[in-house]
Amino acid sequence: MLEGQDIMSVKQRFGIIGNSDAMNRALSVALRVAPTDLSVLVTGESGVGKEYFPQIIHAYSARKHAKYIAVNCGAIPEGTIDSELFGHEKGSFTGATEARKGYFEEADGGTIFLDEVGELPLSTQVRLLRVLQSGEFLRVGSARVQKTNVRVVAATNNNLLQSIEKGRFREDLYYRLNTVPISVPPLRERQEDIPLLFRKFAADVAVQYKMPAVQLDEGAKALLQSHYWRGNVRQLKNVAEQISALEKNRVITADILATYLAPNHTTTSAMSVGKSAGEEFSSERELLYKILFDMRSDINDLKRMLSELMHASHAMSPQQASEVIGLLPSPIVSHQSGVVSHSAGVVSHPSGVVSHHPSSVVADVDSAADYAESEEVVDEAPREQTKADMQREQILRALKNNNGRRRDAARELFLSERTLYRRIKELGITDDDI
């Protein structure tokens, strides 16, 4: 690691606050690689200050008197990114009224900073790889090979290795860019720097608007350091500016500070759980099967509970039996288990009052118990349904519910209309089945 005096000089020149070991290591790597022409990949979460490192590398390199161009790759539309980076010839596309130099041609002899490089389309990645390998490029609409001598520093807050696995980023380009990696630590790994940064941001606001600077008491400092800071330094600066502008009390307590800090509901573990759940049901078909299996399990559990309830009714008085029947959901009572029917002497009125004969209630409960028991026995050895059978039943039910309207049925099944048509054909469902 370089001498502390060299790193301190860099911090003063670029306004970098903090003395954490993690940040000092990152600055040390930047200073050591600056005199070379090696490509550098700066990684780190959003808001950690990745944009300072390309500036440091350029300022301490032999290219410092040449151009430095920063390009936000995620902000340029896919249709124009090649023209922006490599230029174009007149008439090469609609609107190209004259020839234009690209950033790689403009920055010849200097440094180009590609921010959010993980957002580049694959076709542009191929062009960039050629520049890194041979220094050659083609303008859009041109067949003439041009040369450029550019030092490339890239940055991203994406995990490029995961992007490579998903086919969104070229592996060969990754290793070309990642000749020297620099990892910028998140704010939660620089806890000792958090009070220093807050004080700097609060002082800047105080000078700008001519007001006393806010100060943190010990409780507020502890809360500030323990916060997750998902937005890192950018988020901390926003909080400092809000408090400076809105709070009349210039001494900030933990209670006051807590009102400005968003709760850390989303943790890393929760994010990973959500991700694994999404991967588990990677297709809508698997999700539909899961829903159907869960529904079947719920229905079997309901039948079992109903059977146990009916067995217990033998020891009930007529009044207790009537109360039990009143608690059962009407769709289950009338359709699912066949427990109560109008002909059995129990009548439901719109007002919700149930009139019955006590003796008929006991008889109905007994017969229902026998019915539920027999149905439960049958359910112990059900016919094994395939996924196709279950899917067929679900589609038929949706079609019947919507009077054969396939667009409405697709909406109920959370499928596209095209997917529903394909599955109807695969399962051999005809209009006669509906």
Calpha distance 316→308 (Å, rounded): 13
Residue 271 CB partners (closer than 8 Å, separation 6+): none
- Sorted by sequence, the CB contacts under 8 Å of residue 180 that are 6+ apart come out as 29, 33, 38, 39, 40, 41
- In single-letter form, the type of residue at position 187 comes to L
Give the integer Cα–Cα distance in Å for 378 and 417: 37
* CATH architecture classification, 4-185: 3-Layer(aba) Sandwich (3.40)
pLDDT recorded at residue 106? 96
Structural domain spans, the chain: 4-185, 190-258, 303-379, 387-427
What is the reported pLDDT for 318?
A: 60
Q: Is 91 left (phi over 0), alpha (psi -120 to 50) or beta?
A: left
β pairing state of 145-147 and 136-138: antiparallel
Per-residue pLDDT of the chain (434 residues; tens, 9 = 90+): 445 778 999 999 999 999 999 999 999 999 999 999 999 999 999 999 999 999 999 999 999 999 999 999 999 998 899 999 999 999 988 888 899 999 999 999 999 999 999 999 999 999 999 999 999 999 999 999 999 999 999 999 999 999 999 999 999 999 999 999 999 999 999 999 999 999 999 999 999 999 999 999 999 999 999 999 999 999 999 999 999 999 999 999 999 999 999 776 444 433 443 444 444 344 455 556 556 666 766 676 676 666 666 666 555 556 555 555 555 554 444 444 444 444 444 444 444 444 444 444 444 444 444 444 444 444 444 445 677 788 888 888 888 888 888 888 887 777 777 788 878 888 888 877 87
- For the domain made up of 387-427, the CATH class stated in words is mainly alpha
**Of 195, 208, 271, which is closest to residue 244 (Cα–Cα)?**
208
pLDDT value of residue 409: 82
| Nearest of 193, 250, 262, 259 to residue 221 by alpha carbon | 193
From the CB of residue 420, how many other CB atoms can be counted at a distance below 10 Å?
21
**DSSP collapsed to 3 states, the chain:** CCCHHHHHHHHHHHCCCCCCHHHHHHHHHHHHHCCCCCCEEEECCCCCCCCHHHHHHHHCCCCCCCCEEEEEHHHCCCCCHHHHHHCECCCCCCCCCCCECCHHHHCCCCEEEEECHHHCCHHHHHHHHHHHHHCEEECECCCCEEECCCEEEEEECCCHHHHHHCCCCCHHHHHHHCCEEEECCCHHHCHHHHHHHHHHHHHHHHHHHCCCCCEECHHHHHHHHHCCCCCHHHHHHHHHHHHHHHCCCCEECHHHHHCCCCCCCCCHHHHHHHHHHHHHCCCHHHHHHHHHHHHHHHHHHHHHHHHHHHHHHHHCCHHHHHHHHHHCCHHHHHHHCCCCCHHHCCEECCCCCEECCHHHHHHHHHHHHHHHHHHHHHHCCCCCCCHHHHHHHHHHHHHHHCCCCHHHHHHHCCCCHHHHHHHHHHHCCCCCCC
pLDDT of the residue at 370? 45
Q: What is the pLDDT of residue 38?
A: 96
Selected from 2.30.30.40, 3.30.420.80, 1.10.533.10, 1.10.8.60, the CATH number assigned to the domain covering 190-258 reads 1.10.8.60
pLDDT attached to residue 89: 94
The answer to whether the Cα torsion of 240, 243, 245, 251 is positive or negative is negative
CA atoms of 121 and 103, how far apart (whole Å): 17
Quickly count: other Cβ atoms within 10 Å of residue 296's Cβ: 13
Cβ contact 60:34 at 8 Å: yes
Q: Read off the amino acid at residue 115.
A: D
Pairing of strands 151-156, 40-43: parallel
Confidence at residue 182, expressed as pLDDT on a 0 to 100 scale: 97
pLDDT of residue 93: 87
* pLDDT for position 402: 82
Q: What pLDDT does 310 receive?
A: 65
The pLDDT of residue 423 is 84
